[in-house]
Amino acid sequence: MAPTDESGQAALQSSASGTTPPFDPAPAGTAGPSGRMPRWLPRALVLALALVAAFQLGSWAFHQLTGLLINILIAFFLALAIEPAVGWMAARGMRRGFAAFVVFIGVLIVAAGFVTLLGSMLAGQIIKMVEGFPDYLDSVINWVNAHFKTDLKRVDIQEGLLRSDWLRNYVQNSATGVLDVSAQVIGGLFQLLTVALFSFYFAADGPRLRRTICSVLPPARQAEVLRAWEIAVDKTGGYIYSRGLMALVSGVAHFVLLQALDVPYAPVLAVWVGLVSQFIPTIGTYLAGALPMLIAFTVDPWYALWVLIFVVVYQQFENYVLQPKLTSKTVDIHPAVAFGSVIAGTALLGAVGALIAIPAIATLQAFLGAYVKRYDVTDDPRVQGHRWRGEGPSLLARARGLRGTRGRAAAERHDDESTGGNSS
């Protein structure tokens, strides 16, 4: 007979003595204190290392492609903005690619004209400032000599500036800064070309792109995607067109004022005010009004005050009269929601997020409104926000009445208990 191992002998001894052997909690396939490594442990380690490596690689790739993803996002919203115009032309027999090309050429011409006019205005102002700088410097020197009893001369100041180390360092830093600005300009042109190409492809091949996305989805999901796409096109296009119309009205109004005050470069300043005030959220109005105020100040300081008053008054008219009527059917969102969305977009994507925040929130609001079930609100004065006289007792009176009712109910219960106790 084969010899019995220690565990078998322990089991025989325990059965002979009438006691139960101790329970071994280690399940089958796992290693005990003196056993081997479980078979699943190397696989788990390899899987964990693979997941960590994949996460690190994905994070690195995402950070490297952040600029490209932002450009694609801008191009997508730009394509949504011009989609109604492209669709309108395509519905009338024009090829979709050619229609997108026509729209892009129109936008390019408008943008180039605006930049050219603004550049010519700034160049003219800089030349005027350079030509008038000696007279301005003479007036400053005369004021200092008259008030502080000094004997300064412009020639001495100019020679001191030319021989100073500060000017030499400034020129060297400016030369380096010119190279940096040139690199930034080249990078900006490349990004602009990237956005233009992607937006053109999105607009020209919109139906093909939607068909490709829907081909990997079931029919029910296809309907939801197409509905969301249609809402995004309506809201983004409506936002751009309503802002463009308000920019036109604002530009015309400010042009009339600047022309009446005989401020130079009135057409360019009017276009500047209209575009910047409408397409730069939150702070656009103040940036737009600063430049015409500065130009008007060079003509007459009182003109700058008149421009400031007009900007403030027109802003109130736009906020409470013009904007609700023009945006009621396009991006009808609460001003607080719009302001919060701009702040959130700026925190996430900077200036790009600030520009696309409002149409994105309007699209999300419209999409949720189509799927969220709503109910009729009860006719209660508290919902209306006020209570007319004679509608009922006040809140304090109702509280007193409720307290009196509870007191009477408690007294009645006490009387019932007393009556029951006496009867028993």
The reported pLDDT for the residue numbered 53 is: 94
- Cα 201 from Cα 86, distance rounded (Å): 12
pLDDT reading at 15 higher than 70: no
**The pair of three-digit structure tokens given for residue 369, joined into one six-digit string:** 């409104």
SS3 label, residue 33: coil
pLDDT at 187: 77
Average pLDDT rounded to a whole number, residues 31-38: 62
At 27, phi and psi to the nearest 5?
A: -75, 170
Which residue has 């602009």 as its token pair? 192
The yes-or-no verdict on residue 51 having pLDDT over 80 is yes
pLDDT at position 66: 85
Give the span between the Cα atoms of 254 and 40, in whole angstroms: 76
Q: For position 361, what pLDDT does the model report? A: 80
Query: Do 84 and 71 touch, CB atoms closer than 8 A?
Result: no
Q: What is the pLDDT of residue 318?
A: 81
217 or 350: which leads in pLDDT: 217
pLDDT, average across residues 34-62: 87
Q: Average the pLDDT over 334-357 and give the result.
A: 76
Placement of tokens 């400034």 in the chain: 170
CA separation for the pair 59, 103 (Å, rounded): 37
Q: Which helix (H) or strand (E) holds 100?
A: helix 96-148
The answer to whether 178 and 171 have CB atoms below 8 angstroms apart is: no
User: φ, ψ for residue 4 (rounded to 5)?
Assistant: -95, 140
Which residues 6+ apart lie within 8 Å of 146 measured at CB?
Answer: none
pLDDT band at 2 (very low <50, low <70, confident <90, very high): very low
> Does 102 have pLDDT greater than 60?
yes
Q: Is 209 exposed, middle or buried (0-12, 13-18, 19+ CB in 10 A)?
A: middle
Return the minimum-mean-pLDDT range out of 210-219, 320-329, 340-349: 320-329
Q: Which of the 8 DSSP states describes residue 4?
A: P
Sign of the four-CA dihedral 357, 105, 115, 311: negative
What pLDDT score was predicted for residue 3? 47
How far from the centroid of its chain's Cα atoms is residue 370's Cα? 23
Instruction: Supply the mean pLDDT for the chain.
Output: 75
Identify the CA nearest to 229 among candidates 89, 339, 87. Answer: 87
Question: If DSSP codes are grouped into helix, strand and coil, which group holds residue 272?
Answer: helix
Question: Using alpha carbons only, how large is the chain's radius of gyration in Å?
Answer: 38
pTM above 0.75, yes or no: no
Q: Where are the domains of the chain?
A: 236-369
Q: What is the pLDDT of residues 200-257, one digit of tens each?
A: 888 888 888 888 888 888 888 888 888 888 878 887 777 778 888 888 888 899 999 9
Quick one: pLDDT at residue 16?
47
Is residue 143 predicted with pLDDT exceeding 50?
A: yes
User: Looking at the predicted structure, is the pLDDT value of residue 29 above 60?
Assistant: no
| Least confident piece of the model among 160-164, 182-186, 293-297, 362-366 | 160-164
Q: Average pLDDT, stretch 98-106?
A: 89
Q: Which of 293, 262, 287, 265 is nearest to 274 (CA)?
A: 287
**Which residues, other chains included, contact 345 with Cβ-Cβ below 8 Å and sequence gap of 6+?**
352, 353, 354, 355, 356, 357, 360
